[in-house]
Amino acid sequence: MSQKYILALDQGTTSSRSVIVDQKGEIIGIEQQEFPQIFPKSGWVEHDPFAILESQLSTLKKVIQKTNINSADIVGLGITNQRETTVVWDKNTGKPIYNAIVWQDKRTADICENLKKNGLENHIRQTTGLVVDPYFSGTKIHWILENVPNARAASAEGNLLFGTIDSWLLWNLTDKKIHATDYSNASRTMLFDIKKLCWDEKLLTALNIPISMLPAVKPSSFHFGDFILDGHTIPIAGIAGDQQAALFGQACFKKGEAKNTYGTGCFLLMNTGTELQFSKNGLLTTIAWGINGKVYYALEGSIFVAGAAIQWLRDGLKIINSAEESELFAKEVEGENPVIVVPAFAGLGAPYWDMYARGAIFGLTLDTGKNHLIKATLQSLAYQTKDLLIAMQHDAESPLTSLKVDGGACANNLLMQFQADILDAVVERPKNTETTVMGAAYLAGICVGLWKQEDIETDKKLGKTFIPTISSEKRERLYKRWLKAVERSKDWID
């Protein structure tokens, strides 16, 4: 018998990737391509949906060519994607009526304020598990319908479709036949009832969004439709938003298991099982995934700027040439770093939820150099993670003894050691840190019968463990300084 493969697509905020996974769960090929970021105004972030699609298809073709596998041996396709990013397109022409509005975009702050003024804050919290924030898709759809010429009329006539990036890819991969999403992505729109598992009419009315625009919502491990490649039919059999996919890829299948992904943003998720658990500490309640007839939930804390802060050092300040250099320069700082960077470039996420906060640097003196700034920026990722973990432990009413990590920045040993130190917890980095795309591969592979869920748990291999080394007195002193800096960066924009 020939070897069978899963093709997994990882459509991220700054790049698209395609990965081939063999029957043993090993990645045998990976291709990546960046695409342009568009910043029309301060606080606005957009993508060209066709640039996303083309970069994804390009990497898909390249990885198959480079691995030299027969497309007939690809038995399933999984998709994971940047969440909340919003595309509205004409279902007749297939053309987007506006650029994709990215999850980081802040233009809908006023719309969010109006929802609060109209008394919808508690309804949104209890129905969707989310807070009222520009981060989510609902207000982005409303903005497009209100601001793009003829959009309202086209939506009223049933000619427009909305999708998060998974839906946009699925629609195009299935030759414009399937308009659908999965539970995990639907739960990030601020329009989806996560208890009843349906679109919420009250919120659609409040934002004046016709239900005809919205995709069908399916389990995460499900045969969504088919992708025809070189004459062969490949079932699209798994879809999950990137953070839920990473939770699945880390095999956090049991209640109470948690992971942190260090990507463009930083996202801490804890599996809460099949029971909904609401946070008293500013965390989100979200759907983790739907599989085998059950829906699983998670608590989530979102840090808007993580790896993006390292990109800022590279592209904005131009004090490093690559992300990898950040560790080398940070190591040059001996002893305690007096500098604190609060990277609130897009406001503060959980547990603060301050859309008016902005980035700040504290503790500068005449002997401050670029190395201090680089180290402080790296450390900000660990401090923000501690903020989330404290809130999560209060909600879960149990301490977390270890944290599973993944994402690009988890390769940075200095950062991971500081993370263990500031948390006073063991940090576990898997051998294969590509957990997000593996989550999509696993969901698809389970659906097509290539793997069982219990096999994934057994096959997970640990790469490196980081043990806390600093004193409790030092930990407390460092964290107190961080909290002081956060307070001073809040409510900056009037």
State pLDDT tens for residues 352-383: 888 899 999 999 999 999 999 999 999 999 99
Sequence-ordered list of residues with C-beta below 8 angstroms from that of 71, at least 6 positions apart, any chain: 64, 229, 230, 232, 234
What does the pLDDT look like over 144-201, one tens digit per residue?
999 999 999 999 999 999 999 999 999 999 999 999 999 999 999 999 999 999 999 9
Tokens of 66: 């480079």
Q: Which class is 5-240 in CATH? A: alpha beta
Once rounded to an integer, what is the mean pLDDT over residues 13-23? 94
The pLDDT-based confidence of 1 (bands split at 50, 70, 90) is low
Q: Which residues pair with 402 in a beta bridge?
A: 426
Sequence-ordered list of residues with C-beta below 8 angstroms from that of 34, at least 6 positions apart, any chain: 14, 15, 55
Phi, psi of 263 (to 5 degrees): -115, -145
DSSP line for 337-351: ---EEE--BTBB-TT
Check pLDDT > 80 for residue 439: yes
Q: Residue 379 is which amino acid? A: Q
Once rounded to an integer, what is the mean pLDDT over residues 438-466? 89
pLDDT computed for residue 401 by the predictor: 67
pLDDT computed for residue 398 by the predictor: 66
The domain locations on the chain are 5-240
Check pLDDT > 90 for residue 393: no
Q: Tokens 């603060």 correspond to what residue?
A: 352
Q: Which residues pair with 168 in a beta bridge?
A: none
Check pLDDT > 80 for residue 461: no
Angle made by CA atoms 39, 42, 46, in degrees to the nearest 5: 30
Element (H, E) at 245: helix 242-249
Tokens of 83: 């969440």
Question: What is the Cα 425 distance to its own chain's centre?
Answer: 23
Q: Which residue has the higher pLDDT, 256 or 58?
A: 58
Check pLDDT > 90 for residue 434: no
What does the pLDDT look like over 40-54, one tens digit per residue?
998 899 999 999 999
pLDDT computed for residue 30 by the predictor: 96
Q: With left for phi above 0 and alpha for psi between -120 and 50, is residue 491 left, alpha or beta?
A: left
Question: What is the Cα 22 distance to its own chain's centre?
Answer: 25
CA distance 492 to 489: 6
- Rg of the chain (C-alpha set): 22
pTM comes to: 0.85
Give burial (CB, 10 Å; 0-12/13-18/19+) of 320: buried
Kindly compute the dihedral angle of the four CA atoms of residues 153, 157, 162, 167, in this order, to the nearest 10 degrees: -150
Give burial (CB, 10 Å; 0-12/13-18/19+) of 42: exposed
- Pick from 252, 242, 192, 256: which is nearest to 218 by CA? 192
What does the pLDDT look like over 100-116, one tens digit per residue?
999 989 999 999 999 99
Count of Cβ atoms closer than 10 Å to residue 54 Cβ: 14
Element (H, E) at 229: strand 221-229
CA distance 184 to 221: 11
